Amino acid sequence: MQGNMMPVPLTIPFILERARTIFRNREVVSLLPGGRNQQGQPVPQRHTTTYGEVADRALRLAAALQGLELTPGDRIATLAVNSFRHLEAYLGVPSAGFVLHTMNIRLHPDQVAWILNHAGDRVLLIENVFVSMIPALQAACPTLEKIYVLGDLPEPMPGVESYDEWIMSHTPLERYPDIDENDAAGLCYTSGTTGNPKGVLYSHRSNVLHSMACAPKDALNVGERDTVLPIVPMFHVNAWGLPYTCTMYGARQIFAGMFTDGRTIAQILQDEKVTIAAGVPTIWLGLQNELDCARTAGTPYDLSRLERLIVGGSAAPEALLRGFQSHGLHMTQAWGMTETHPVATVSFLPPDIDPTSDEGFALRAKQGRIVPLIELELISEEGELVPHDGKTMGRLLVRGPWVANQYFRGEGQGSFLELGGQQWFDTGDIATLDERGYMHIQDRSKDLIKSGGEWISSVDLENAMMAHPAVAQCAVIAMDDPKWDERPLAIVVPKAGHSVTHEQLLEFITPKFAKWWLPDATVLTDHLPIGATGKILKRELRQEYRGYGSGQFPQRNDLT
Ligand code: AMP
């Protein structure tokens, strides 16, 4: 027998309507680039609007999109920073029945074009600071029919229009299209562990459920009284879902755009009376440094309104948590992935543990406990379940209503597996789980490097370096870095009778990669450890070169 409840579909228009009606006067603040200082650096210009205006413009965007010859489910790409216009796209694109594809602005233009083509994007909303990429994208991406520039259009360009003029020439959409809650709403690409980037296609339902799961007290604790600063970019897993969560619950939102250095963030936290801010460890290290300097100078910032810093994307060291506590600031760790929307665990504490005790810090340095409706499991290399004893490591599996059940266009099938008659996603993380449910990441089986919160593909770097005529074998591994968390280290076996320098290798691969992808150092060696199946044993290399860059190993110029 079925229950007698209304099967109301969970869709993004409900989030938009809440913002348009009950939160219409709540403020949305953006720092937009407003000219340049004497050093040529962009200077932030404060822009304020309200949820009411954002919703009105989002509905104009929805109407404008419906005026194009598009088919429901078509992908609309953004290459944009965090701002109120990006929020309009978050709300307007899915509400018009299309899919919002948020693209990573930090990738090499060739990678951007590859992803655009793979997604089959038909419309691009691009920030005015990136317009120099447009001609190359127009040439490389045949499906791309319309390009609209967010912000002032610096100069007329063929096939390019102003986003503001375009949407304001339409009246707000009056009737939402019929949307099934399982229809696609958003698309994000993540770095493939082997091969090309993979797309994760979020649904309306998964977005709504994720937003509802993130808001409560023992998750991210977001409500109408909050002022939230998502420093994590809106192109990275939808800024951890915060733009939707905040809009659903009416929190005041602050978008820092391209201004994410420690000093500007400290200033925003103080001036805007931010209560919750979210970012990767690299961002927080910059902020901590700024707070330490200000305290030493006797001019500390007033962050008395700041209740919580949320850290994720990479492990938050205990020292970081303690450092912020010394400023009276509480940092909460969360774990997740592009494939999990991302929030899956949060390091909230039971009532009997003092967060500032040694035990409290040790627990908060773990990745945390599952939020409701998420399940975790650990398996051994043989596929057997591993005990949750806090000691035995296993491959971390995850399932839940906001976890992907496949990649876009059916790729990467190997990451999805059956266990006990249920489908699970294999995260590629190696972790322990303890009796109380605390998950602790120990290592990573996926062959990737995470630098400043963004992935670098070691496989892509290796392939490019192997093409050098003097290179016989090459492995790129992550080395620890105090600022970026990890940086790529290349370990190269030169061909017999050849030698090669780090600089020569960089010169060879530079045209193919964004600058921040390039290895920081190259080690020459006469062999690489190879396992029984013929694969390079990266784990052994990671152990061998642990601490590289700390002075324990000769620096790169001595090695060639
Ligand atoms: P992404 O898809 O870019 O969000 O990356 C997800 C991956 O980042 C996870 O599988 C982990 O390897 C890593 N990650 C995310 N959050 C944390 C965390 N709190 N601690 C350690 N690793 C993390």
CATH number at residue 505: 3.30.300.30
Asked whether residue 357 is assigned to any structural domain, the reply reads: no
Residue from 475, 485, 427 nearest 455 by CA: 485
User: Using 50, 70 and 90 to split pLDDT, how confident is the model at 560?
Assistant: very low
Asked whether residue 426 is assigned to any structural domain, the reply reads: no
Cα 548 to the center of its chain, rounded Å:
27
Please state the φ and ψ torsions of residue 150, each to the nearest 5 degrees: -85, 125
Model confidence over 265-322: pLDDT tens digits?
Answer: 999 999 999 999 999 999 999 999 999 999 999 999 999 999 999 999 999 999 999 9
DSSP 266-330: HHHHHHTT-SEEEE-HHHHHHHHHHHHHHHHTT-----TT--EEEE-SS---HHHHHHHHTTT--
Q: Rounded to the nearest whole angstrom, what is the distance from the C-alpha of residue 148 to the centroid of ligand 1?
A: 33
Residue from 63, 86, 33, 93 nearest 246 by CA: 86
Provide the pLDDT for residue 557.
37
Ligand 1 in contact with 427 (CB < 6 A)? yes
The H-or-E segment that residue 485 falls in is strand 485-494
Provide the pLDDT for residue 172.
98
Q: Give the integer Cα–Cα distance in Å for 248 and 231.
A: 19
pLDDT of 554 over the 50 cut: no
Q: Rounded to the nearest whole angstrom, what is the distance from the C-alpha of residue 343 to the centroid of ligand 1?
A: 10
Query: At 99, which CATH number?
Result: 3.40.50.12780
Ligand 1 in contact with 340 (CB < 6 A)? no
- CA distances 331 to 72, 279, 319, 356, 484, Å, are 41, 11, 11, 11, 19
Q: Give the integer Cα–Cα distance in Å for 23 and 26.
A: 5
pLDDT of 458 over the 80 cut: yes
- Name the residue type at position 31: L
Tell me how crowded residue 19 is: count the other CB atoms within 10 A of its CB. 24
Residues forming beta bridges with residue 189, ordered by sequence position: 199
pLDDT of 154 over the 90 cut: no
- Domain stops at, among 259, 285, 318: 259
Any catalytic annotation for residue 450?
A: yes
The H-or-E segment that residue 91 falls in is helix 84-95
Q: Rounded to the nearest whole angstrom, what is the distance from the C-alpha of residue 37 to the centroid of ligand 1?
A: 36
Q: Give the integer Cα–Cα distance in Å for 431 and 433.
A: 7
Catalytic position from the list 190, 227, 332, 432: 190
Q: Give the integer Cα–Cα distance in Å for 225 and 544.
A: 50
342 CA closest ligand 1 atom index: 4
CB 496 within 8 A of CB 533: no
Q: Give the integer Cα–Cα distance in Å for 541 and 477.
A: 8
Tell me how crowded residue 377 is: count the other CB atoms within 10 A of its CB. 18
Ligand 1 in contact with 314 (CB < 6 A)? yes
Residues forming beta bridges with residue 491, ordered by sequence position: 475, 523
Model confidence over 168-179: pLDDT tens digits?
Answer: 999 999 999 999
CB 372 within 8 A of CB 346: no
Supply the range of the domain harboring residue 526.
Answer: 449-544
Pocket test for ligand 1, best of 210, 397, 450, 485 (most atoms within 8 A of CB): 450
Q: Rounded to the nearest whole angstrom, what is the distance from the C-alpha of residue 193 to the centroid of ligand 1?
A: 13
368 CA closest ligand 1 atom index: 19
3-state secondary structure of 376: strand
Pocket test for ligand 1, best of 234, 429, 439 (most atoms within 8 A of CB): 429
Q: Give the integer Cα–Cα distance in Å for 57 and 84.
A: 10
Residue from 512, 524, 528, 514 nearest 555 by CA: 524
Ligand 1 in contact with 312 (CB < 6 A)? yes
Of the listed ranges 19-33, 181-195, 255-269, the least confidently predicted one is 181-195
pLDDT of 553 over the 70 cut: no
Provide the pLDDT for residue 552.
53
Q: Whose CA is nearest to atom 4 of ligand 1?
A: 337
Residue from 125, 143, 219 nearest 134 by CA: 125
- Domain stops at, among 259, 277, 301: 259
Percent of the chain at pLDDT above 90? Answer: 87
Asked whether residue 88 is assigned to any structural domain, the reply reads: yes
Asked whether residue 278 is assigned to any structural domain, the reply reads: no
Q: Give the integer Cα–Cα distance in Å for 233 and 256.
A: 9
Q: Whose CA is nearest to atom 12 of ligand 1?
A: 429
Q: Whose CA is nearest to atom 9 of ligand 1?
A: 337
Asked whether residue 473 is assigned to any structural domain, the reply reads: yes
Q: What number is the average pLDDT over the span 217-242?
A: 97
Tell me how crowded residue 258 is: count the other CB atoms within 10 A of its CB. 18
Q: Give the integer Cα–Cα distance in Å for 457 and 448.
A: 5
Residue from 164, 244, 159, 234 nearest 204 by CA: 244
Catalytic position from the list 450, 454, 517, 538: 450
Torsion of CA 263, 268, 269, 271, to 10 degrees: 120
Residue from 509, 461, 466 nearest 488 by CA: 461
Q: Rounded to the nearest whole angstrom, what is the distance from the C-alpha of residue 276 to the centroid of ligand 1?
A: 20
Any catalytic annotation for residue 240?
A: no
Omega of the bond prior to 482 within 30 degrees of 0, cis?
A: no
Q: Give the integer Cα–Cα distance in Å for 231 and 252.
A: 14
Give long-range contacts, CB 8 A cutoff, 24+ apart: 180-183.
Answer: 180/9, 180/204, 181/9, 181/10, 181/11, 181/205, 181/208, 183/11, 183/72, 183/73, 183/97
Q: What number is the average pLDDT over the span 103-130?
A: 96
CB 117 within 8 A of CB 144: no
CB 346 within 8 A of CB 308: no
Asked whether residue 50 is assigned to any structural domain, the reply reads: yes
Q: Give the integer Cα–Cα distance in Å for 202 and 164.
A: 27
450 CA closest ligand 1 atom index: 8
Any catalytic annotation for residue 339?
A: yes
446 CA closest ligand 1 atom index: 12
Provide the pLDDT for residue 35.
76
Provide the pLDDT for residue 195.
72
Q: Rounded to the nearest whole angstrom, what is the distance from the C-alpha of residue 539 to the centroid of ligand 1?
A: 18
User: Using 50, 70 and 90 to split pLDDT, how confident is the model at 558?
Assistant: very low
Provide the pLDDT for residue 37.
85
Q: Give the integer Cα–Cα distance in Å for 173 and 185.
A: 18
User: Using 50, 70 and 90 to split pLDDT, how confident is the model at 374?
Assistant: very high
Q: Give the integer Cα–Cα distance in Å for 124 and 115.
A: 12
Q: What residues have CB less than 8 Å from 51, skipping those under 6 apart?
A: 19, 20, 23, 24, 25, 26, 28, 247, 250
- Domain stops at, among 259, 293, 328: 259
Provide the pLDDT for residue 36.
81
pLDDT of 464 over the 50 cut: yes
Number of structural domains (the chain) is 2
Q: What number is the average pLDDT over the span 506-520?
A: 94
Between residues 185 and 535, the one the model is more confident about:
185
Q: Give the integer Cα–Cα distance in Å for 449 and 484.
A: 11
Ligand 1 in contact with 338 (CB < 6 A)? yes
pLDDT of 445 over the 90 cut: no
Please state the φ and ψ torsions of residue 243, each to the nearest 5 degrees: -60, -35
Model confidence over 317-360: pLDDT tens digits?
Answer: 999 999 999 999 999 999 999 999 999 999 999 999 999 999 99
Q: Whose CA is nearest to atom 10 of ligand 1?
A: 337
Q: Which two tokens stand for residue 345?
A: 């665990």
Q: Rounded to the nearest whole angstrom, what is the distance from the C-alpha of residue 335 to the centroid of ligand 1?
A: 6
Strands 343-346 and 331-336: antiparallel
Asked whether residue 17 is assigned to any structural domain, the reply reads: yes
- Name the residue type at position 273: K
